[in-house]
Structure 1
Amino acid sequence: MDVHVAFRQPVLRGVSLEVPEGCIYALIGPGAAGKSVLLKTLAGLIRPSQGRVELLGRTLGELDEAGLMEVRRDVGMLFQNYALFDFMTVGENIAFPLRRLFSLGEREIQERVAERLARVSLPGFEPRLPAGLSGGQKKRVGVARATVSRPRVLLYDEPTAGLDPVTSQKIYDLIREEQRTHRTTNVVISSDVRGLLTIADRVGMLHGGKLIFEGTREQALASEVPEVRQFVHGLTDGPL
Structure 2
Amino acid sequence: MNASSSILLVDESKIFLTIEKQFLRTALATLHEAHSAAAALTLCRERLPHLVYIAYELPGQNGAEFCRMLKQEPKLSRIPVIVICEESRPDQVAASQRAGCNGVLVKPLDRLRFLEVGRSFLVGIRELRRSCMVTVRYRGKPGDFTTRGLDIGSGGLFLDSSDHPPLGEVLRLQIQLCRPGGKGPWIEATGAVAWINTRERPGKPSHPPGFGVRFTDMNVQDSGLLSDYLAGLERGGEKV
TM-score by length of 2: 0.30
Q: Please say which structure displays the higher CA radius of gyration.
A: 2
Greater fraction strand? 2
Greater fraction helix? 1
